[in-house]
């Protein structure tokens, strides 16, 4: 089956059904990060230009899925923290690794707004940022605010690209693949830089 015939089949669906599928895809991306949510969103934007789907309806469906998805991540993080608190109340001592994680709370809170604002532009790790927000008890209202602003900006970029490119799905998907690859390279370089910084500081401190 050719791409054109597949697009024709999807374009023939009622808009409400297509919007529901996009909502579910945008939600699943946050709960199951390997799921290609951005590609689904991109395809929805493509169909706005290709099949005349309602732009407000499709955009709202994707944004709503994002919000419900990262709210679920926040709830998972909050549940993990409550579970940890119950273990502490029962007299269980946290492991050294867990204590190190807990020690990051103030640092996370200080950078939470910026981190959550950038989350949509960080493929692969965005879900874990919201789990962290829940775990470190960052304000849920602020989490929703920053997460929604980030999702709105990112989705607007994708939809603008999708509508502009129109029928050229190959160019659009190639653009997304290149962007994702570039971000992963930058994240890898950042991880190496942070690791090198930690190592040099450890050596300067005599390995303490």
Tens-digit pLDDT profile for residues 48-99: 776 777 888 889 999 999 999 999 999 999 998 888 877 766 666 666 666 6
Q: What is the pLDDT of residues 173-198, one digit of tens each?
A: 666 667 667 666 776 776 677 677 66
Contacts of 129 (CB under 8 A, 6+ apart): 115, 116, 119, 122
Distance CA 113, CA 98 (A): 24
> Is the separation of the CB atoms in 175 and 162 below 8 Å?
no
Structure tokens belonging to residue 178? 């290149």
Mean pLDDT score across all residues of the chain: 77
**Does residue 205 form part of some domain?**
no
Structure tokens belonging to residue 121? 């532009």
pLDDT (average), residues 108-137? 87
Q: What is the pLDDT of residues 141-163, one digit of tens each?
A: 999 999 999 999 988 888 877 66
**Does residue 13 form part of some domain?**
yes
Distance CA 41, CA 110 (A): 31
**Does residue 87 form part of some domain?**
yes
Lowest mean pLDDT among 3-12, 86-95, 135-144: 3-12
Provide the domain limits for residue 85: 3-167
Number of compact structural domains in the chain: 1
**Does residue 151 form part of some domain?**
yes
**Does residue 162 form part of some domain?**
yes
> Is the separation of the CB atoms in 177 and 11 below 8 Å?
no
Contacts of 190 (CB under 8 A, 6+ apart): none
Structure tokens belonging to residue 87? 């273990």
pLDDT surpasses 70 at 128: yes
Please, what is the angle between helix 140-165 and helix 105-117, to 10°? Answer: 30
Q: How many CB atoms lie within 10 A of CB 17?
A: 10
**Does residue 188 form part of some domain?**
no
Distance CA 128, CA 114 (A): 15
pLDDT at 111: 86
**Does residue 195 form part of some domain?**
no
């Amino acid at each position: 089956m050719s791409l054109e015939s597949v697009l024709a089949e999807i374009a023939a669906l009622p808009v409400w059904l297509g919007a529901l599928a996009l909502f579910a895809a945008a939600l699943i991306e946050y709960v199951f990060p390997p799921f290609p949510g951005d590609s689904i969103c991109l395809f929805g934007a493509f169909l706005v230009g290709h099949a005349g789907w309602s732009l407000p309806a499709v955009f709202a469906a994707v944004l709503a899925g994002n919000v419900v998805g990262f709210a679920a991540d926040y709830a998972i993080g909050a549940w993990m923290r409550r579970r940890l608190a119950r273990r502490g109340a029962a007299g269980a001592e946290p492991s050294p690794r867990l204590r190190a994680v807990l020690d990051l709370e103030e640092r996370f809170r200080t950078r939470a707004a910026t981190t959550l604002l950038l989350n949509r532009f960080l493929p692969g790790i965005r879900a874990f940022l919201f789990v962290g927000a829940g775990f470190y008890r960052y304000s849920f209202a602020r989490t929703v605010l920053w997460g929604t602003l980030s999702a709105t900006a990112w989705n607007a970029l994708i939809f603008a690209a999708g509508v502009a490119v129109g029928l050229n799905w190959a160019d659009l998907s190639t653009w997304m693949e290149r962007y994702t690859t570039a971000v992963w390279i930058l994240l890898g370089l950042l991880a190496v830089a942070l690791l090198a910084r930690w190592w040099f500081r450890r050596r300067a401190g005599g390995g303490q």
